[in-house]
Amino acid sequence: MLRFLTAGESHGKCLIGILEGMVSNLPLSEADINKELARRQEGYGRGERMKIEKDTVEILSGLRKGKTIGSPIALMINNKSTEFFDQVVTKLRPGHADLAGALKYNTGDIRNILERSSARETAMRVAIGAICKKFLAQFKVIVSSKVEEIGGEKNKPRFNAVIDEAKEALDSVGGIFEIKIVNVPAGLGSHVHYDRRLNALLASALMSIPAIKGVEVGLGFEASRHRGSKVHDEIFYEKGKFVHKTNNAGGIEGGMTNGEPIILKAAMKPIATLVKPLKSVDFKSKKATSAHIERADTCAVEAAAVIGEAMAAFVLTDAFLQKFGGDSLEEIRWRL
């Protein structure tokens, strides 16, 4: 079983990650991971924080002479921006974990909640996902993403203008991104039990990204608006292979990959922290106030897409290892 844990606060010392269950003999370097971390920091509409941080990873364990050795891989990413860590926050921010977290964890200092609920944690998920992407690439399985919509706008050349307009209005926007995974072998996941269905596992992984409010597999919600004859992918047998000529299922039927590319979409809500803050309440005094403002992005859909790739790569790597097993890269090659 492949699993990972992360630790670390947004303005704490660093982020820590441990990936357990990765095979031995996978070539891996810090540069492989840094490349993905840089992609997460890009994208039009990001705020000041991304100008301060230049994320790089340190691999602390699980690697010798440029290859994994089968032991847990521990990673560290330092935070440069630590100046807010001791600052008390009592003004609740709508759209954040603040109110629910303060009630749940019995704290009057909202910073105890916001430091961990911040999407800063996803930098480590991208680092973990970079290792999974490197693993999948050994078998030519490639995970990619693209932004499909920003603030309801589908016309790509207009994306930056939509973000600029929101910024000028002291507001924010969300959007939709697509994840595509190609060269996926058939039979990953399973129909036999709810917690082995790959579509459910992928949807859960994408929904775990902060601000993601919906996930679609293949045609998704659109499938419900058409008749069956227009939705289901017909099966053909050509040149010794089963093939589909359409891929409305998004590469997954009955919770298993069917050999077609996996297509997923995720919807991100607009950034919750607004420069023109929303009405709120001070948690301590219970008096009406405006929401606390910390540096914020206007739009982070491009970054969310990179995080989506990482989460999808992790789930797929786990499914791949479950099907083909093995403790070393070579053992999987023999079994494929």
Q: What is the binding site for ligand FMN (CB under 6 A)? A: 47, 95-97, 117-119, 122, 209-211, 269, 271-273, 296-297, 300, 303-304, 307
What is d(CA 50, CA 275) in angstroms, rounded to the nearest whole number?
17
CB of 114 to ligand FMN, least distance (A): 8
Query: Three-class SS of residue 118?
Result: coil
What is d(CA 278, CA 294) in angstroms, rounded to the nearest whole number?
13
Sheet strands (E) in the chain: 3-7, 14-20, 24-27, 57-59, 63-64, 67-69, 73-78, 142-150, 175-182, 212-217, 235-238, 241-244, 252-253, 256-257, 262-268, 279-281, 288-290
Q: Which is nearer to ligand FMN, 18 or 266 (CB)?
A: 266
Q: Which is nearer to ligand FMN, 169 or 186 (CB)?
A: 169
Q: Which is nearer to ligand FMN, 201 or 272 (CB)?
A: 272
CB of 276 to ligand FMN, least distance (A): 13
Q: Which is nearer to ligand FMN, 26 or 271 (CB)?
A: 271
Query: Three-class SS of residue 228?
Result: helix
The residue whose two tokens read 């009405």 is 279
Q: Which of 197, 249, 251 is nearest to 228 (CA)?
A: 249
| Edge-to-edge order in the sheet of strand 14-20 | 3-7, 14-20, 73-78, 57-59
Q: Which is nearer to ligand FMN, 68 or 298 (CB)?
A: 298
What is d(CA 162, CA 37) in angstroms, rounded to the nearest whole number?
25
Interhelix angle 198-207/301-324, nearest 10 degrees = 150
Query: Three-class SS of residue 251?
Result: coil
CB of 303 to ligand FMN, least distance (A): 4
What is d(CA 81, CA 53) in angstroms, rounded to the nearest whole number?
7
Phi and psi angles of residue 180, each rounded to the nearest 5 degrees, phi first: -125, 135
Q: Which is nearer to ligand FMN, 91 or 96 (CB)?
A: 96
CB of 122 to ligand FMN, least distance (A): 6
Q: Which of 268, 18, 323, 266 is nearest to 141 (CA)?
A: 323
Q: Which is nearer to ligand FMN, 42 or 58 (CB)?
A: 42
CB of 120 to ligand FMN, least distance (A): 8
Q: Which is nearer to ligand FMN, 250 or 308 (CB)?
A: 308
CB of 162 to ligand FMN, least distance (A): 17
Q: Which is nearer to ligand FMN, 151 or 210 (CB)?
A: 210
CB of 268 to ligand FMN, least distance (A): 7
CB of 266 to ligand FMN, least distance (A): 10
What is d(CA 4, CA 20) in angstroms, rounded to the nearest whole number?
6
